[in-house]
Amino acid sequence: MTSVPRIVSIFSIFIMAMTTYVLADSECPDDSNTTPRDSAGCPIGDITVAMFLSPPYLLEKDGSDNGTQGYPYGIVFDYIVDTLFGCCHGKTELVTTNDDILKSDIIFPVSESDETNLTFSNVSYTFYDIVKVDGFVLIGLIDQYNAKARGLVLRSLYDSWPIFALTFLLTGIAGIFIWALEYYVKNEEFSLSFTRGSYDGFWWAFISMTTVGYGDKSPRSFFGRLFGVFWILIGLVVITMFTATVTSALTHSSSPDFINALEGLKVAVLNGSFAEAEATYLGAISSPYPEFEDMHAAMVKEEVEGLFMERLQAYYFYKDKNVYDGDNLRVFHTVPTKISHKMAFKQDTTCQLIENNYCFKRRLENPLISSYVRNYTTPLKAFNPSVDTVGLLSGNSKGTSTLLLSLMGVFFGLCVLGVSVELFLWKSARRCTKPVPFQTKRERTPSDVNSFHLNTVLLQLRGFEENLEKLSNQIQTMKENLTGATRKTTQENVKLTEFN
């Protein structure tokens, strides 16, 4: 049951809100005695404004070098100054102060909590949306994205080890089966021993499964061929699964998992910004940082996976791309939403200006800040998977270049080694077969004569060996012919005996 004090408190807040609303819609108070104005309602003199740093809408240029106080600038500040100058013709100037915001004529920026506090204060304010941002952006580094994509490829290949094991196990089983079926028909293409025969069967099963079919081994028996038909059908399914698994793993580099959703992603946000609340709402793991430089350093050190910011803030901080390696930056994800940065105007001092000066009122209700935005921001490139993605074996990958150079080095090294070995063997063969040249009688020594005779004897023995081998072949041929003739004579004698 709701207590009476609580009901009274709620009723009091409602009365205060209604009173503020009525005062806001009532006619402007007459302040001619305190604030001199011209016919257009422009105050002749200064308007105090309380503005707090909010890049790029409100900035402060440091004047410590020449001993002067810093002066404000930014998208909103420039717009308000130009609006007052254009609509009041230089009669009204802005004076910044942050001593007591309730005494200020204009306050910027105004958050939701600030708007609530100002609404229920003793001073009446009118609120205008000066800047409307169309969403948040997730910014990341291409190098880190590609490294993550390649890591996913390698991890997917590693996780695919069951299909590799299944392929080789089924091939081994099929090899043993085909050896057993061909064993009893004494197929010469499969050895009779288990170790050698199962190896031959594995080779046959593997080339049949891959549909290569060298033809060096094939079953001869009926059951062997029947098993071959079933194994080829099974092998087609297995090799298709194998190819699909490897292809799916290799195509991980082109699937933008990083940009599909923010849920579960660790991102850096500015402390107390709209992006911090939005990142929490979207399920991201937000890490708040007080300064933008700290956010960028965390992303470079891979402490976070990206930066989540308002679009205009991101475009402002990364305007100088040479400092932050702009070619490596991309907008990976966009969250469309409407973000309003409001400005509060004190009714006691600005009501006459807003109501009587059509120029000023129109610029507040329809702020045209596109030119100011262009002065302070530079858009970043959006991530394009077909252009920015560097795959595992892409031509733009440093790893691919290193691998190709290494393989080229191995190839040319093997070529040089092979040519060197062949040249060495050719020279060795020539050295063994080359006869020793005759020397003059004065230069010849007993060792030279002995070497010459030895080489001559070796050549003669080699020729004798060749002749002996030819003679042996001829004798074998004559023996076979004689055996055939003897067998034929015996058969004729048997027939003659039977005839007699």
Q: What is the pTM of this model?
A: 0.64
* CATH of range 36-132+340-367; options 1.10.260, 3.40.190, 1.10.10, 3.90.550: 3.40.190
Domain residue spans in the chain? 36-132+340-367, 145-257
CA proximity to 144, closest of 28, 16, 304: 304
> What's CA 496's distance to the chain center, in Å?
95
Query: How crowded is residue 271: how many other Cβ atoms within 10 Å of its Cβ?
Result: 13
In three-state form (DSSP H/G/I as H, E/B as E, the rest C), the secondary structure along 144-212 is: HHHHHHHHHHHHHHHHCHHHHHHHHHHHHHHHHHHHHHHHCCCCCCCCCCHHHHHHHHHHHHHHHHCCC
Beta bridge partners of 309: 137
Which helix (H) or strand (E) segment holds residue 113: the answer is: helix 112-119
DSSP-based three-state secondary structure for 108 = strand
Q: How far, in Å, CA of 279 to CA of 132, rounded?
A: 19
282-311 b/e (C-beta count within 10 Å ≥ 16 → b): bebebbebeebeebbebbeeeebbbbbbbb
DSSP-based three-state secondary structure for 470 = helix
Q: How far, in Å, CA of 337 to CA of 322, rounded?
A: 30
Q: What is the pLDDT of residue 37?
A: 63
Q: Which two tokens stand for residue 420?
A: 């060197």
Q: Which pairing describes strands 106-110 and 329-346: parallel, antiparallel, or unpaired?
A: antiparallel
- For residues 377 and 74, is the Cβ–Cβ distance under 8 A? no
> What's CA 79's distance to the chain center, in Å?
41
Q: What is the pLDDT of residue 192?
A: 86
- The DSSP secondary-structure symbol of 440 reads -
In this structure, what is the dihedral angle of CA atoms 439, 441, 443, 449, given to the nearest 10 degrees? 60
Low-confidence ranges of the chain (pLDDT < 50): 1-2, 4-26, 66-68, 438-441
DSSP-based three-state secondary structure for 78 = helix
Q: What is the pLDDT of residue 255?
A: 55
Q: How far, in Å, CA of 171 to CA of 95, rounded?
A: 86
* CATH of range 145-257; options 3.40.50.620, 3.50.50.60, 1.10.287.70, 3.30.565.10: 1.10.287.70
Q: How far, in Å, CA of 418 to CA of 24, rounded?
A: 96
Q: How far, in Å, CA of 451 to CA of 351, rounded?
A: 126
Q: Which CA distances in Å does 212 have to 104, 165, 176, 208, 229?
A: 86, 21, 20, 6, 15
- For residues 314 and 92, is the Cβ–Cβ distance under 8 A? no
Q: What is the pLDDT of residue 73?
A: 86
Q: What is the pLDDT of residue 10?
A: 47
Tokens 């089924």 found at:
170
DSSP-based three-state secondary structure for 368 = coil
Q: How far, in Å, CA of 284 to CA of 280, rounded?
A: 6
Beta bridge partners of 344: 107, 127
Q: What is the pLDDT of residue 295?
A: 93
Q: Which two tokens stand for residue 494?
A: 């048997």
Q: Which two tokens stand for residue 390?
A: 């560097």
